[in-house]
């Protein structure tokens, strides 16, 4: 089935950050975005979306800095789309699958909003009409100066990070609720009967180097997913991707 839709959007951005190498080290920036699909005909989608992204950077000493990010979003309307929380867009990884859910419709593929990063989790691990994500990083200069022995890498930096977020529909998942941290169907568990397992919380932590190779900014992350309710830690995962830190 084919359909036609128009999605106008408006976005306000404020930015006074100061950059060093591959990431900001001082200042702050944020944006507020609103988009809508007004439903131009019977086959069109009708939905509304509002998102906020705020970031703050704190220089500490000798190139060391802290970075924090808060993201929130809300979708509503007759054809409200899902936020897809989790993962990062990696090139190579220890994970065999890129997405938590391998079945996705064309509408979901093109109109859903992917909320990242939650390193250590699969892409689209949690789904919901509403979403919140927080990221905190300590950024460290591992090797500041250029040495001939590493002429293809140049400067190497690193990060220590933690990511946590939640996606939900009508009912907000409580942080200390056991069922909020389940990541798969749990129909046989009477305690969580009726719970929608695609919603809920995600949390992870880890570290990784940042470097330039062949002109591209590379990120190598080693991450562990953490369940604070059970007190359990997943096996280590690694992800190699191209991009700049938030």
pLDDT value of position 178 = 84
pLDDT value of position 181 = 86
Residue found under tokens 């009508």: 170
pLDDT value of position 186 = 45
Q: Which two tokens stand for residue 71?
A: 């993201």
pLDDT value of position 185 = 43
Q: What is the pLDDT along the chain (246 residues), one digit of tens a residue?
A: 677 788 899 999 999 999 987 899 999 999 999 999 988 877 788 999 999 999 999 999 988 999 999 999 999 999 899 999 999 999 999 987 777 665 667 777 778 899 999 999 999 899 999 999 999 999 998 765 545 545 555 678 899 999 999 999 988 998 888 888 876 544 345 566 556 668 999 999 999 999 888 889 999 999 999 999 889 999 999 999 999 999
pLDDT value of position 188 = 44
Residue found under tokens 């906020």: 52
Q: Which two tokens stand for residue 90?
A: 């990696």
Kindly report the pTM of this predicted structure: 0.89
């Amino acid at each position: 089935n084919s359909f036609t839709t128009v999605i106008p959007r408006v976005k306000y951005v404020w930015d006074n950050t100061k950059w060093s190498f591959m990431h900001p080290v001082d200042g702050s920036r944020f944006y507020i975005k609103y988009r809508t699909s007004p439903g131009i005909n019977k086959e069109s989608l009708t939905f509304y979306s509002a998102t906020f992204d705020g970031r703050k950077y704190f220089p500490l000493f000798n190139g060391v800095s802290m970075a924090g990010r808060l993201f929130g979003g809300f979708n509503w309307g007759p054809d409200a789309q899902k936020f897809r929380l989790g993962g990062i867009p990696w090139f190579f990884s220890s994970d065999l699958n890129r997405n938590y859910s391998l079945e996705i419709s064309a509408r979901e593929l093109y109109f859903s909003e992917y909320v990242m990063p939650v390193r250590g989790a699969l892409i689209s691990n949690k789904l919901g009409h509403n979403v919140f994500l927080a990221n905190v990083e300590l950024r460290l200069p591992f090797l500041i100066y250029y040495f001939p022995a590493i002429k293809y890498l140049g400067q190497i930096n690193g990060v220590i990070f933690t990511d946590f977020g939640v996606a939900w529909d009508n009912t907000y998942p409580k942080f200390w609720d056991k069922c909020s941290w389940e990541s798969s169907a749990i129909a046989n568990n009477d305690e969580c009967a009726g719970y929608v397992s695609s919603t809920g919380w995600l949390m992870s932590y880890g570290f990784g180097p940042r470097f330039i190779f062949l002109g591209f900014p590379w990120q190598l992350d080693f991450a562990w997913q953490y369940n604070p309710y059970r007190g359990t830690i997943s096996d280590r995962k690694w992800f190699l991707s191209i991009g700049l830190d938030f």
